Structure 1
């Protein structure tokens, strides 16, 4: 008896696993404006986005010492 999670031997495989042709490749999402959506997303993409802690690090290490006058 095969261990759990193993595929059955080829002679016991179902038609979907062995002989049936693959699906037509038609997805369920609507990709009619895919190029426009991708181009718009790319235009708003920053080359080096700020990290979540960058503002805090800049505030913490800012030179705030006032000169003694």
Structure 2
């Protein structure tokens, strides 16, 4: 069986070797100066980091519902 599928499977050798590159995002924390002081707005970074697992679970459910809607519309 592998001999029969060999030509077809060799077409996808690049796809099999593909690896997703690792990266890290950085939360944007804008800063500005006013009244002779420097202010940095980073409270949203802390809040989002604390709720990361809740947000990830919620987004997984949203994407599953979107996928289900696409499949059911077909």
* TM-score > 0.5 by shorter chain: no
TM-score, normalised with respect to structure 1: 0.32
TM-score, normalised with respect to structure 2: 0.30
Return the structure number with greater helix share: 2
1 or 2 for the larger relative contact order (CA 8 Å, sep ≥6)? 2
Please tell me whether Structure 1 or Structure 2 has the larger radius of gyration of its CA atoms: 1
Return the structure number with greater strand share: 2
